[in-house]
Copies of this chain bind each other. A is one copy, B any other.
Amino acid sequence: MSETPPLREALIQAGIGLLAEGGPATLTLRQAALRAGVSHAAPAHHFNGLPGLLTAIAARAFDTFAQTLQTARDGAGDDPRARLHGICQGYLTFAAAHAGLFHLMFTAPEVDRRDPTLEPAAELSYQILQQACRPFATHADDRLEVAVWSMVHGYAALGFCTPTPPRPMAKPPEFSDLLNELLQT
């Protein structure tokens, strides 16, 4: 099929580096181009403007996200409950370790989240969680998956999994306790 141009890959990597080192404010087209050693207008030939670069980075982030969930699940043994806990822990670890990418994937307004390149990895991530939830479902619909997904995402988004938790909360409860509350026993 199509071979990805090297500059496109270099720009994505430069963007990821900028995001990790300097935060979202330093992730600009011109900075990425500078870091990749090309002129300031070169990125326009590989991405549809800044939103295009951000979307491409988000797609890449979803790839490693799905991979993280998968290895977290496989490293948790065979017990269904342990596997689900492992996946959630992977979710939270990823969110804490790659806050910039996490924000890009789910909440950055510049990212076009219905871009078809996002879909495969995002869909895979969802299916991993979905399958791990299936043994615990007590209803025919998908309410349990959505409950777990919402809870783990909210826990991450609200910052409970970062070293600096929000609000005047001395020590936030472990997510595993929250999950057990939902799985009832």
**Chain A residues close to B by CB (< 8 Å):** 23-25, 103, 106-107, 109-110, 113, 122-123, 126, 138-139, 141-144, 146-147, 149-155, 157-158, 160, 166-169, 172-173, 177-178, 181-182, 184
Cβ–Cβ contact B107 & A103, under 8 A: yes
Oligomer copy total: 2
| Cβ 8 A contact of A158, one of B23, B25, B109, B153 | B153
**B181/A113 in contact, CB under 8 A:** no
Chain B residues whose C-beta falls within 8 Å of the C-beta of A152 in the assembled complex = 150, 154
Chain B nearest CB: distance from A180 CB in Å?
9
Closest 9 CB pairs between A and B? Answer: A154-B154, A150-B154, A153-B154, A143-B173, A150-B155, A147-B178, A151-B151, A107-B107, A150-B151
